[in-house]
Amino acid sequence: MVDRYLAILASGILLGGIYALIALGLTVILGVVRIMNLAQGAAVMLAMYLAFWLFKIFEIHPYVSAPLIILVSFFLGVFIQRFIVQPIPGAIMDMVLIATLGFSIFLENLALFLWGADYRTVHTAINNMIFRIGPINVSYPRLVAFIVSILSALVLYILMKRTMIGKALRAVAQDREAAELMGIDSKRMYIYAVGVGTALAGLAGVILIPMYYAFPSVGGYFMLAAVVVIFLGGLGNMIGCILGGFIIGILEVFSGYFLTTALKETIYFSAFILILLIKPTGILGLGKGSERIGT
């Protein structure tokens, strides 16, 4: 019995790693540009399809084609910021929300138009390999997904702390006007931030495709989860993001085991309302007032 619970717990943590990765992308964008990019889920979907087709046509394994897909996703993000968010007069938050939703409607239906509503996934030998830790069996794609998620969070953290661009991004996040006075081109930084955030969504798509089906509206599921994750973790907080990812992942698998998977969003949304009532700034909130980011 305990073994079974441990196995469920493990799969929850592994799932949470992917949620954390998608939410991390949103957090970077939210922290720097102060916008919520609702096309993040569609970016995950697009990356899944891209990985699928590269495998199907050229037989390139998703783990190999990852750099290319990350690059493509980065430019998708650049496009979103440069041609959808930037032209909005005054970049009003509500309007950005609607415009990015509009773009995600477009991408979803583009996928539906080009590739139909079929469920597609990548089957390789790796899928069936199983890794054993004591009583727990873990499939390789899940393990890889988890390790990649944690590693990329670490790499992102180091890049943000150590590199010039990372420092510039953080400067813009803290105080845009002061950063501009220091000679930082904040518009350029915004474009980089959305690019990096969307690239993380692309990476998530790549590591998802060996264990999950791609279909046009798949992004919506991840989008909703990622939004709840960044609320839980305290807005704009990278470590809180990873913690929030684990919580949602664990909550999802246990509620699926004890209740039903059909209500998973209902479960974590209830948890979200509960936390909202107790601590509006999230678990690791930035302190008083951080819920106002983006107003």
Partner 1 sequence: MSGKTVWAIVGVLFLGGIPLFVHNPYFLHVFILIFLYGAISGAWNIIAGYAGQFSLGHAAFFGIGAYTSTLLFLKLGVTPWLGMVAGGLLSALVSVLIFYPCFKLKGIFFALATLAFGEVIMQVSIYWRGLTRGSLGLMIPFRPSFYNMMFESKLGYYYITLIFLLGIIFLSYSIENSKMGFYLKAIKDDEDAAEAMAIDTAKCKLAALLISSFLTSVGGSLYAQYITLIEPEVAFSLFGISIQIAIMSIIGGIGTFLGPAFGAFVLVPLGEFIRDLLGGKTPGIHAMIYGIMVILIVILLPKGIMRWISDLVQKRPKGVPAKG
Chain residues binding partner 1 by CB under 8 A are: 35-36, 84, 87-90, 92-99, 101-113, 116-117, 216, 224, 227-228, 231, 235, 260, 262-263, 265-266, 269-270, 272-273, 276-277, 280, 291-292, 294-295
Pairs from 111-118 (Cβ < 8 Å, separation ≥ 24) = 111/45, 111/46, 111/49, 111/216, 112/216, 115/49, 115/216, 117/215, 117/216, 118/215
Please state, in angstroms and rounded to a whole number, the distance separating the CA atoms of residues 281 and 288.
Answer: 7
Question: Toward partner 1, which CB reaches closer, 68 or 276?
Answer: 276
Residue linked to tokens 């390999």: 129
Residue 221 CB, nearest distance to partner 1 (Å)? 10
Question: Toward partner 1, which CB reaches closer, 163 or 266?
Answer: 266
Element (H, E) at 130: strand 130-133
Residue 240 CB, nearest distance to partner 1 (Å)? 15
Question: Toward partner 1, which CB reaches closer, 168 or 201?
Answer: 201
Residue linked to tokens 């084609």: 65
Element (H, E) at 216: none
Residue 102 CB, nearest distance to partner 1 (Å)? 3
Residue 14 CB, nearest distance to partner 1 (Å)? 24
Residue 131 CB, nearest distance to partner 1 (Å)? 33
Question: Toward partner 1, which CB reaches closer, 61 or 176?
Answer: 176
Please state, in angstroms and rounded to a whole number, the distance separating the CA atoms of residues 141 and 144.
Answer: 5
Question: Toward partner 1, which CB reaches closer, 63 or 269?
Answer: 269
CB atoms within 10 A of CB 268: 22
Pairs from 108-117 (Cβ < 8 Å, separation ≥ 24) = 108/42, 108/45, 108/216, 108/217, 108/219, 108/220, 109/216, 111/45, 111/46, 111/49, 111/216, 112/216, 115/49, 115/216, 117/215, 117/216
Written as one string, the DSSP assignment of 141-182 is HHHHHHHHHHHHHHHHHHHHHHSHHHHHHHHHHH-HHHHHHT
Question: Toward partner 1, which CB reaches closer, 14 or 26?
Answer: 26
Residue 284 CB, nearest distance to partner 1 (Å)? 16
Residue 50 CB, nearest distance to partner 1 (Å)? 18
Residue 241 CB, nearest distance to partner 1 (Å)? 15
Question: Toward partner 1, which CB reaches closer, 117 or 181?
Answer: 117
Question: Toward partner 1, which CB reaches closer, 182 or 263?
Answer: 263
CA dist 289 → 93, 97, 235, 293 (Å): 17, 21, 10, 8
